[in-house]
Chains A and B, each alone.
Chain A
Amino acid sequence: MTNRWGYPDLGFGVGLRSVHFQHILQNNPAIDWFEVLSENYMDTGGRPLHVLDQVAERYPVVLHGVSLSVGSTDPVNFEYLKKLKALARRVKARWVSDHLCWCGVTGLNTHDLLPMPYTHQALRHTIERVRIIQDFLERPIALENASTYLEFAASTWPESEFLASLAEAADCGILLDVNNVYVSSYNHGFDPQAYIDRIPRDRVVQMHLAGHTNKGTHIIDTHNDYVIDTVWKLYRYAHRRLGGVATLLEWDANIPGFDVVHGEALKARQFREQEDAAMKTPELAEVPAYGD
């Protein structure tokens, strides 16, 4: 299943992190693609950009930002967009993504992916901003469902419907973070499968997987560990619903060696293959449902 823009299924990638620079440049690991945190390369002329240039010559690269602040009521930051556009051109980014969130207002940046109230006003506001951003970048963007730890009383609809409506109205893509679906479902008590069911499949250009930290009362999206089994099951469910989508493993704290991170990403291939095989065998197709 391809998305409406024809963005390719790049296979199984990992985030480009500085602790792996040397390994990657020396060993040219057989990995399908890299995702790059845009802001880490936008204002530097030093080693990170030098490494990225070399990586981009060897592998497909996707840009993933954390400061687009698409839901903020501050004015759109065109200086930021200008640098993002230049970087995307420089590395021939296959696509550009960020989050459905806001990061700050009144000129400040909390550097967090803060939750939106899911209201009609917020939807209209965000649609307008996404259109402005895409016009400036001259390409569709993909927005990721962030992990959230609170819900606003003002919200009138579920996040999944808000995201789906936003994507349809603003004509943007979706980066479905399967771990974030699970984290938010745990924190807010919703059905993660139902969340995925509401996502329009032709708008999903990428999926994310990551580890997290369960505090008992809530889960924090820490990207510091292996993906848990329940999230793998949810990934299989998402694959069944959405088809082959470029998949990225995030590991941002307590980062192990490159081969460990890559190995975790490659588990996604196994789960996809298992799911594809199961789909061809009806009696097996029932097995991997989430929660089994």
Chain B
Amino acid sequence: MATDPGLERIQRWMQACILDQGTAEEAIASEKAQAAIPAEQARSVVLPSKTLSALERLDIYRDMYLLRMEEALSIDYPSLKHFLGPDEFMRLVTRYVEMYPSRSYTLNRLGDHLPEFVATRDDLPRKEFCHDLARLEYALTCVFDAAETPPLAAEAVRALPQEAWEHARLKPIEAFRLLDFSYPVSRYVGAVDEENPFPRLARKKTWVAAYRSNYNLHRMDLAEPAYGLLSALASGKTLGEAIVSTLTRKWRPAVKQAQLFEWFRDWMAEGFFQSVELAGDRS
């Protein structure tokens, strides 16, 4: 009878072999694998079949691991994959999961560190563009999974006296993110989704709201002052404070009152806010 290394050592060994990105021979000789089972014993841990050697059988699990990780990240980062192409994306995934293997029971969280990882990869083509793209796609996954918070009802808006709006705090829905970019990545995502033609990939500051409405994902391109105003509101400022801190400085000449009304009309229609409360009224 073969020696039994014990359950814990077998599991640590097999996991180390699966996560190792060398050949099966290199995997069983790796430091982590050998910490569980020495390489000279490793060949006898797994039985061969009639058609496959022990290491070939181990390779089935090793091969499927990276394919599974790539598939999961492709779902969350389709535009990044589109830009990089399948081979470069696979190389990125391979390096990424080496540094950030899954620690969650759900693959939905596998890509949480991808934007910050992309920012460190000097070998990526157009790294800054890729970073912006990854940030947007990560935000979209967060918006997709965020808790559902019903949008502010029109009655609640109408119920607030006009003079009270200056002191009103508008709280965004949970499925809402504001982002600023150095490249037109929202248009790139739209092009991958066949919403619009591909944009030029030249540097261009852009501002985007990513949000969910009726359980569907949306992106809204914003003007810089609109982004500033929404950011101030999202940080908890009252409407009066938000306008003073943003619009009265840099953009006062550019933003007319009519424009302001138009923005709020669109934001309300899209369900950006979940509640309105007056300053001091936190009930």
Contacts and interface: CB of A to CB of B under 8 A. Distances in A.
A105 B61 contact: no
Taking residues whose C-beta sits less than 8 angstroms from the other chain, chain A's interface range is: 35 or more
A276 to B, nearest CB: 37
A46 B15 contact: no
Given A114-B61, A154-B5, A108 B19 contact: yes
Contacts, number: 139
A225 interface: no
A70 B6 CA distance: 16
B49 A112 contact: no
Nearest to B8: A73
Interface in B1-52: 1-8, 10-12, 14-15, 18-19, 44-47, 49-52
A50 B148 contact: yes
B64 interface: yes
Contacts of B52: 217-218
B145 A45 contact: yes
B13 to A, nearest CB: 10
Nearest to A150: B57
Contact of A108 (B56, B102, B144): B102
B21 to A, nearest CB: 13
B108 interface: yes
B110 to A, nearest CB: 8
Interface in A116-153: 116-117, 119, 121-122, 125, 149-153
Most buried by B among A46, A72, A104: A46
B144 A46 contact: yes
A187 B56 CA distance: 12
Interface string B94-134: 00000001111111110000000000000000000000000
B258 interface: no
Nearest to B149: A45
B2 A149 contact: no
A105 B105 contact: no
A106 B15 contact: yes
A111 interface: yes
A72 to B, nearest CB: 7
A125 B8 CA distance: 10
A149 B45 contact: no
B64 A112 contact: yes
Contacts of B49: 151, 187-189, 217-218
A150 B102 CA distance: 23
A237 interface: no
A179 to B, nearest CB: 17
A110 B65 contact: yes
Contact of A119 (B4, B11, B107): B4
26 contacts: A39-B107, A43-B145, A44-B108, A45-B146, A45-B148, A45-B175, A46-B144, A46-B212, A71-B7, A73-B11, A104-B15, A108-B15, A108-B102, A110-B15, A111-B72, A112-B64, A112-B68, A119-B7, A150-B54, A150-B57, A150-B60, A152-B47, A153-B45, A153-B47, A154-B10, A218-B57
Interface of B: 1-8, 10-12, 14-15, 18-19, 44-47, 49-52, 54, 56-58, 60-61, 64-65, 68-69, 72, 101-109, 144-148, 174-175, 212, 215-216
Given A39-B106, A153-B47, 14 more contacts: A39-B105, A45-B145, A73-B8, A80-B105, A105-B8, A108-B15, A109-B101, A110-B15, A112-B64, A121-B4, A150-B46, A151-B46, A153-B44, A188-B49
